[in-house]
A and B are shown apart, each in its own frame.
Chain A
Amino acid sequence: EAGVTQSPTHLIKTRGQQATLRCSPISGHTSVYWYQQALGLGLQFLLWYDEGEERNRGNFPPRFSGRQFPNYSSELNVNALELEDSALYLCASSLGTGGHNEQFFGPGTRLTVL
């Protein structure tokens, strides 16, 4: 069974540009989560999608947005990139929306903003 996949692996952008990160969940998983992990820091929750709907959002500005497609894959968009947006962006998926479901993480996208 394939795990969570993310693309691209690395992304280099300049300040002010826009970045699009993609995630494909494990087959059968309907929930997708996005996290930001800055160097040496923990996981900061960004967004949670389930069945195409945004269920919860972390404390990030509106220039961080995303969506979930009918096939449950997801996209994270970051507009007007700032230097501090440089981080590892992790996507995770889980079965349904139950609060007790474990999350399976993808390998992440390393975003570098110059």
Chain B
Amino acid sequence: GQQVMQIPQYQHVQEGEDFTTYCNSSTTLSNIQWYKQRPGGHPVFLIQLVKSGEVKKQKRLTFQFGEAKKNSSLHITATQTTDVGTYFCAGRVTTDSWGKLQFGAGTQVVVTP
């Protein structure tokens, strides 16, 4: 079954508001990656987190990797219409050197002007 879960599945946000999407794994991950897929497009890499408790920022986006390396979050402040799309997290299980990158089901973000 799917080891990487994302919540919420859908997120409706008013322009200017903040929101957070969460990624949870049943097993420890060696790293977590975040991708964004615009409607009609393909996933584009945003960032990678590797260290326990790591926090990285990209302008209005803040990414965090949990202390136990089993969860991650993406927080967007002052949402803009350009933030529309589906955000995927993807993690690789620690113990498997040939482990595939497991993608969550994604959080689809809709922004209301």
Is B113's beta carbon under 8 Å from chain A? no
Check A42/B104 contact, CB under 8 A, given A55-B98, A56-B99, A90-B42: yes
Pick the interface stretch among A17-25, A63-71, A73-81, A96-104.
Answer: A96-104
Q: Report chain B residues within 8 Å CB of A107.
A: 41-42
| A: number of interface residues (CB 8 Å) | 23
- B30 in the interface (beta carbon within 8 A): yes
Chain B residues contacting A35 (CB-CB under 8 Å) are: 103
* Contact, CB under 8 Å: A100 / B103: no
Q: Which of B19-39 contact A (CB under 8 A)?
A: 30-31, 33, 35
Interface of B toward A, CB cutoff 8 Å? 30-31, 33, 35, 41-45, 48, 50, 88, 90, 92, 97-106
The chain A residues found within 8 Å of chain B, CB to CB, are: 33, 35, 41-45, 48, 55-56, 58, 90, 92, 97, 99-100, 102-108
Known pairs A48-B100, A56-B98, A105-B43; list 15 more (Cβ under 8 Å).
A33-B100, A35-B103, A41-B105, A45-B102, A48-B98, A99-B30, A99-B92, A99-B97, A99-B99, A100-B31, A102-B33, A102-B45, A103-B35, A103-B43, A106-B42
